[in-house]
Structure 1
Amino acid sequence: MTRSELIAALMQKNPHLQLREATLLVNTVFGGISQSLANGQRVELRGFGAFSVKERDPRLGRNPKTGEQVQVDKKLVPFFKTGKELHQRLNKGHKS
């Protein structure tokens, strides 16, 4: 689902919302999540999951064009862990 599809779905379920209001709501939620992660904070949405930031250690990588080894610096990456309810919903009816 894209951002515009999410806005359209929000407007469909809430006919009183104008496009500008629905867009503002979606942008506010995503902006809040992004800002919290940028500040190193964890964002938890009960029943859905939690966003956090993990640090990747520096490592030796390879340039895909030349095959030459290059040093990759440490970096921060976003990480998402599904909540219990979402995990169960995704795996409902799937038995290995």
Structure 2
Amino acid sequence: MNKTELIAGMAEETGLSKKDCETVLNAFTAQVEKALKDGDKVQLVGFGSFEVRARAERTGRNPKTKEAITIPASKAPVFKAGKALKDSIQ
């Protein structure tokens, strides 16, 4: 499912226009992004949570030359599914 299909499904489910659903979806993603940038965790009970996890610096290998390289530390957004979402899929 892509963004267009998601918006169409939301419009059908809610009775709102596709344009309104797109506005709501864009606002949701913008707020999640803003919260993660600020270091906050976004929890949607029953659905899941979004958070940022730090990855430590580590040593890796260049597969072409087999030379050891250092992979710098980074931060990555992570989604963890909630119990209700996990149960609904099984």
**TM-score range with shorter-chain normalisation?**
0.7 to 0.9
Change (3 A) 1:64 1:35: farther
- TM value normalised by structure 2: 0.87
Residue identity matched to 1:5? E
Residue identity matched to 2:13? K
Deviation for aligned residue 1:16: 3.6
Q: Percent identity?
A: 33
Residue identity matched to 2:85? L
Q: Deviations over 1:6-43 (max 9, x none)?
A: 101011123342x3211111111111111111111100
Deviation for aligned residue 1:81: 1.4
Q: For residue 94 of structure 1, what is the aligned residue in structure 2?
A: none
In 2, the alpha carbon distance for the partners of 1:16 and 1:55 equals 39
Are 2:54 and 1:38 equivalent residues in the alignment? Answer: no
Equivalent positions of 1:29-68 (< 5 A) are 29-68=28-67
Are 2:23 and 1:15 equivalent residues in the alignment? Answer: no
Secondary structure of 1:60 counterpart: strand
In 1, the alpha carbon distance for the partners of 2:85 and 2:15 equals 27
Q: Which moved more, 1:1-10 or 1:58-67?
A: 58-67
Question: For structure 2, which runs of at least 5 residues remain unmatched after alignment?
Answer: none
Residue identity matched to 2:9? A
Q: For residue 80 of structure 1, what is the aligned residue in structure 2?
A: 79
In 1, the alpha carbon distance for the partners of 2:22 and 2:64 equals 41
Number of positions where the alignment pairs a residue of Structure 1 with one of Structure 2: 90
